[in-house]
Amino acid sequence: MHFIILLPLLFVLSSALNNNLGLTPPMGWNTWNRYGCDINETVVMTNAEMLGILGLDKLGYRYVNVDDCWNLATRDSMSNRTIVDPERFPSGMKALSDFVHDRGLKFGIYSSAGTLTCEGRAGSLGYEDLDAQDYVSWGVDYLKYDNCFNEGIPSFERYQTMKKALEKAAHNHTIFYSICNWGLEEVWQWGNETGNSWRTAGDIFNSWESVKYNFEVNQLHPDVAGPGGWNDPDMLEVGNGGLSHTEERTHFALWAVVKAPLILGCNLNTISNRSLSIISNKELIKLNQDSKGDQAVCVHNCHSLKDSEDVQVFGGWNKDNGGYYGLVAVNWNDLESKPISIDFKSLGLTKSSEEYCSVYDLWNKGVHIGNYQGKYLIPNIDPHDNVALKIKCKRKASSLE
């Protein structure tokens, strides 16, 4: 009896950071990828409104995160508090946070575990308690904490100091803690006990090569991620124009299947319908938000991705919707279309080649493609394109859909 009552409690306590946040990968929007330092409160407000207008909030995109360049380079000489840039954010952070909250969204902010941020604004090193108190008083729900101007102090120490400051300031107001130390200093060893997510690579850029690189580095330590703490290959570039439509599809599907944070980084006021339909794909979002939270791993053709000109398959088990295997097969080849055979037995989905599996197409509203014995052959994946599938297998074909 007691054991049964304790079980769910133990599960919650074992989550990273014990703040009960990030039980599925965070979803939202951030200023940096599209606007860089060129931000102000209007940019944030219009994009926050667009999350609602485009129905993205209902799909789970809730965080509205202000990245670098919201504060001044120097602190208040009397109080040592950070100063919100009065020209860019004349209404102040509390008002902006209220605006965001009034729309049913959550508000995020940025700082650096250094003396300055990467763009030379006041960082939080040495002022963690003061800054954490300000964030809590503004109603901040998410902190992205960068690594510039870090004075050579070990990451673990600096990121733990802010973790403790957030906990101390909290007063029941927990803040999602996003570690941004670019995958350095073996963050996979301490990221999970310190934050709700940790960057696994340097900055993503608006190009296919960059998407590919950040994805590959993010696959080095899949086991350390899960509910409460996520590997973060950086924010999405979908809608920013540097990727073809095909590449945007693959970027999104890969981030979804490996349970990466889905933080949009484009101008939602001008996003094309094609890019919007990619980020609005409910089936891929469900896969990303699965409660098991297992990062998919490479299961076919798993030599180095950098040199790969083949189709690689990334797959893993999911718990929701009765449990299923989710996979994304991606053709890295730049010129040639390629086939791929999804062999159920070698992926561990069936015990014998006699068994049948139902295959569903995640890029087409999850429709049932058919039931297959032994394997499912995909005749053709275009260069840089992907196929995203949900697979359920049973011993008897009659018990399948």
- Is residue 68 part of the contact set for ligand GLA (CB under 6 A)? yes
Q: How far apart are CA 20 and CA 129, in angstroms?
A: 21
Active site residue 146: yes
Cα three-residue angle 329-336-215, rounded to 5 degrees: 40
Beta carbon of residue 37, minimum distance to ligand GLA (angstroms, whole number): 7
Beta carbon of residue 147, minimum distance to ligand GLA (angstroms, whole number): 7
Binding span for ligand GLA by CB under 6 A among 16-24, 111-119, 350-358, 378-386: 111-119
Q: Which amino acid is residue 14, in one-letter code?
A: S
- Determine contact, residues 100/106, Cβ cutoff 8 Å: yes
Binding span for ligand GLA by CB under 6 A among 71-79, 84-92, 117-125, 128-136: 117-125
Please give the residues from 29 up to 48 whose contact with ligand GLA meets the rule CB under 6 A: 32
Pick 66 or 296: Cβ nearer ligand GLA: 66
Q: Which of 41, 67, 128, 294 binds ligand GLA (CB under 6 A)?
A: 67
- DSSP state letter for 182: T
Pick 41 or 146: Cβ nearer ligand GLA: 146
Q: How far apart are CA 10 and CA 14, in angstroms?
A: 6
Closest CA to 179 of 127, 142, 153: 142
Beta carbon of residue 71, minimum distance to ligand GLA (angstroms, whole number): 12
Q: Which of 203, 216, 310, 343 binds ligand GLA (CB under 6 A)?
A: 203
- Is residue 85 part of the contact set for ligand GLA (CB under 6 A)? no
Tokens for 32? 């940096």
Helix (H, G, I), strand (E, B) or coil at 7: helix
Task: Please identify which of the residues 146, 234, 290, 294 carries the catalytic annotation.
Answer: 146
- Is residue 180 part of the contact set for ligand GLA (CB under 6 A)? yes
Token pair 């060129």 is found at 38
Beta carbon of residue 69, minimum distance to ligand GLA (angstroms, whole number): 7
Q: How many residues bind ligand GLA (CB under 6 A)?
A: 9
Closest CA to 390 of 356, 365, 355, 366: 366
DSSP string, 14-28: TSGGGS---SS--EE
Q: Which of 17, 59, 64, 118 binds ligand GLA (CB under 6 A)?
A: 118
Torsion of CA 89, 147, 23, 166, to 10 degrees: -70
- DSSP state letter for 66: -
Binding track over 132-151 against ligand GLA, x by CB under 6 A? --------------x-----
Q: How far apart are CA 228 and CA 226, in angstroms?
A: 6
- Determine contact, residues 54/230, Cβ cutoff 8 Å: no
Question: CB burial class (10 A; 0-12, 13-18, 19+) of residue 364?
Answer: exposed
Pick 68 or 237: Cβ nearer ligand GLA: 68
- Is residue 263 part of the contact set for ligand GLA (CB under 6 A)? no
Binding span for ligand GLA by CB under 6 A among 43-51, 83-91, 112-120, 277-285: 112-120
Task: Please identify which of the residues 129, 203, 343, 361 carries the catalytic annotation.
Answer: 203
Per CB under 6 A, residues contacting ligand GLA are: 32, 67-68, 117-119, 146, 180, 203
**Catalytic residues, which ones?**
146, 203
